[in-house]
Amino acid sequence: MSLRTSAVFAARRSLATIASLLLVASLLALHGCASSQPDMPRKNAMIQFSDMSIHPSVAEVKAGGSVVWINMSDDYLGAVTFPDSIRSSFTCEELRPNFMQISGKIQSIPIRSDNENVTLPCPLKPGRYEYELWLSSRPSEMDNPQRTLKGALVFE
């Protein structure tokens, strides 16, 4: 084998090694393994809940972002419930059609598992906002939930 052929093989081997390393780095970055900051705020947040949990339990959202809750439970309807004191932190006047101010709280319409997701009507001002997810088997029982899960939104 000539010196030139050896150099070509060495160059190809180096390129293959570099390509492999780049592929591994890309895959790690896609899956979040290469990040030293796992829970960076996102422009929009998707919160999933089931019979026993909320994920993420604390959603970090960038200023101006939106939040959607998705019901993964087969047994319960859910309703997002904020204390009434949060009202002045909304950046919009109208909370309907998905949220309403009733009985000292701000509550969403029932979130079904089949196709009904609920989106926050508008972004919140920067801050941390605690909420509860009220779970019930019937819409008529949403004010007397069978189970309560706690979560929080952090708007930056």
Residue 94's domain comprises 45-155
Task: State the pTM of this model.
Answer: 0.73
φ and ψ of 128, to 5 deg: -110, 135
Per residue in 20-65, pLDDT tens? 333 333 333 433 333 334 456 789 999 999 999 999 999 999 999 9
Same domain for 12 and 52? Answer: no
Same domain for 81 and 115? Answer: yes
How far is residue 152's CA from residue 45's CA, in Å, rounded to a whole number? 12
Same domain for 54 and 30? Answer: no
Same domain for 24 and 62? Answer: no
Number of domains forming the structure of the chain? 2
Same domain for 103 and 141? Answer: yes
Q: Name which of 60, 89, 59, 73 is nearest 146 in CA terms.
A: 73
Q: Which residue has the higher pLDDT, 11 or 20?
A: 11
Same domain for 57 and 33? Answer: no
Q: Name which of 138, 127, 120, 139 is nearest 80 in CA terms.
A: 120
How far is residue 68's CA from residue 123's CA, in Å, rounded to a whole number? 11
Per residue in 74-119, pLDDT tens? 899 999 999 999 999 999 999 999 999 998 999 999 999 887 799 9
Q: Would you state the structure tokens that stand for residue 15, as one six-digit string?
A: 């390129």
